[in-house]
Structures are given as structure tokens and as C-alpha cells.
Amino acid sequence: MPVNIELFNEYLYALVPEDKSLMYLGIREYLSRGGKRFRPMLTFLTYGSFTGYYHDILYHGAIIELFHSFTLIHDDIEDGSELRRGKPTLHVQYGIPLALNTGDALYTLVLSLINRLDDKRLRIDYIDTFTQVVEGQAMDIYWREKGEFPNEDQYYQMIARKTGALIGLSMHIGAYLAGKDDPSYFRLGRLIGMAFQIQDDLLNLKATEEYGKKWADDITEGKRTLMVVHALSNLDEKHRNELINILNSHSSNDDDKRRAIELIEQGGGIEYTENRLEEYFNQIDREMQRLFSKSNEYGEELFNFIDKMKRRKA
């Protein structure tokens, strides 16, 4: 692989203040868990596919990854998740107050990095995208807290913001810094992000140890996934109410989880979502062919990277 992830990880750690307080130790510990670095990888590979190198944009990859880490810390609190990347979530490990403060510290670090950029357009792009991510999360939380369920269009609007926007920014930044000021790259990244979220929801119902989260945690969290939305539109009133009651109860009982999955399957939710995901992948393939080539190792790896995403199990 042309991108050296270990080099990038070292760069990330170097941006965290060397203060020994628990706040910064918490950030370092969280970053040390690794992860796919999916978003900065897309930035580096997009940029490198046009330039043949990427080392001069590590700073931008770091902004994107640090913001993503901030959202994960807060999302885990909001969702009541217990595992992240195979380890206890930060709020389980240190308690909610310290986890919140660590997330806040990460966000202020991100803002300070953005503030140092000379390019006003980039500063605006970063903040606008971060706003979209928070808006998407707000939609997701609101539906669960109010016991409401979105329609399919509303679901797509939510994941376009919550997951799609940051991945869209990742590709946009890489292309923009390489001299390609074309909104097509953001749109492609957003599409990849939406497919990634739909795929993640499917994987959660088939979670293995490799996945790094508990099996069917999304049922316990009461997540409004595409599978759920479609199933609810097809089930009869009795079974629709049964599924709604399980999701709104936030039950962690395995029998309840299994029953919810049975109802989702009965309503055609899993099959429908698998078909929609395949449509997304086909659209992504067409856009990749239009916007990129395999003229250098970065371009080749970008195509390979997307193919690996499509086959991922975790």
C-alpha cells in the first residue's frame, strides 16, 4: 500500500499536546486503538491519484481523523455503546464526565488546527461539513428519543449528513488540494459514506468478534436503519407494533434481538437493504471510473480500497 498508516499515526499523536493530564492521556489512548483511518486514507489516495504523492497533506488527514474520533466518543455516550474497536468505550472506561471532556478537548484541537489554515475556502468547507455531521446525528437521536420513525427519504437525508458528509469532505479535500475543484468528488464521497453506513447496519445484525461491537447492538439502541424503515412499511399492524415496541424498549435481551431481526426479515427489510446497497455500489463503480484512473499506484490503490470496503466484514 502506498500510504504508510504507521507514519500517519505518529503524525496524529504528535499533534496531541504532551500534557500528562488524563484528558490528553485519554485522547492518546483512544487514538492508539487504531482503526481503519478510512477517511484520511480516502483523502491521501484521492490526492495521490493526481499528484503521485501525499506526504504534504498529512495535516488535512489529521483534521478529518481527529474530528471523526471526537464524534465517536460522543456518539458512544449518546448511543449507550459499550465497545469501540474491540475495547470498552471511553465513557465505560473513564466515566461519562471525563469522556465528554475528552471529546470536547479533541474538538477544540480540531478547531485550532482549522484556524491555522490560510485558505478561507477550506476553513468554511470544514466547518460546514462538521455542521452537517452534527445535524445528521441530531436527526438520529431525535427519532429515538421521541419514539418516532422516519420514512425512507428522511433516512437517506440523515445518513447523507451523519456519515456521508465527512467522507464526502475527505475526497473533496484530496481533490481540491490536487487542483480538482469539482463537486463531483464530494458527491462521490458522500455516496460512499451512505453505502458504508447501510453496510454497517447490515453487518451489525451479523456481528462477529472481528466487528468490534456487540451483536445486534443497533436493536438495543433502537436505531432507525433502512432495514427497519422498510420492514415497518410492509408489516401488518400487529407485527409493526411488536417491532416498534422492541426497538423503543432498548432491550439487550438476546431473545428480543432475535425476534426483532425475524420481524425485520418478515417485512423484507434485510433483502431490500441488500439490494439497495448493491445499487449504491454499482453507482459508486460508475463514478470511480469517470473521475479516476489507475495511472499510478495511488489510483490503483484507491480502486482496491473501495473494493475492499465493499467486501468488508468489520
User: Where residue 110 sits, what CATH number does that domain have?
Assistant: 1.10.600.10
Express each pLDDT in 231-273 by its tens digit: 999 999 999 999 999 999 999 999 999 999 999 999 999 999 9
- pLDDT (0 to 100) of residue 20: 65
Question: 230 pLDDT exceeds 60?
Answer: yes
Cell triple for 25: 492521556
Question: 140 pLDDT exceeds 50?
Answer: yes
- pLDDT (0 to 100) of residue 15: 93
- pLDDT (0 to 100) of residue 47: 98
Express each pLDDT in 3-44 by its tens digit: 999 999 999 999 988 876 667 777 888 888 877 899 999 999
Alpha-carbon distances, residue 127 vs 112, 234, 259 (angstroms): 12, 39, 42
Q: Which domain holds residue 13?
A: 5-310
* Alpha-carbon dihedral 223, 229, 235, 238, rounded to 10 degrees: 40
- Residue with cell string 426497538: 247
Q: Do residues 156 and 194 touch, judged by C-beta distance below 8 A?
A: yes
Q: What is the mean pLDDT of the chain?
A: 93
Alpha-carbon distances, residue 259 vs 149, 168, 227, 242, 266 (angstroms): 19, 36, 14, 9, 10
Split at pLDDT 50, 70, 90, the class of 210 is very low
CA distance 253 to 82: 15
Express each pLDDT in 142-186 by its tens digit: 999 999 999 999 999 999 999 999 999 999 999 999 999 999 999
Express each pLDDT in 79-123 by its tens digit: 788 878 778 888 998 889 988 988 999 999 999 999 999 999 999
Helices (H), 16-119: 22-32, 38-51, 58-79, 90-94, 96-115
User: In terms of C-beta density within 10 A (0-12 exposed, 13-18 middle, 19 or more buried), how is residue 261 classed?
Assistant: buried
Q: CA gyration radius for the chain?
A: 20
How many domains does the chain divide into?
1
Strand partners, 87: 84
CA distance 243 to 252: 14
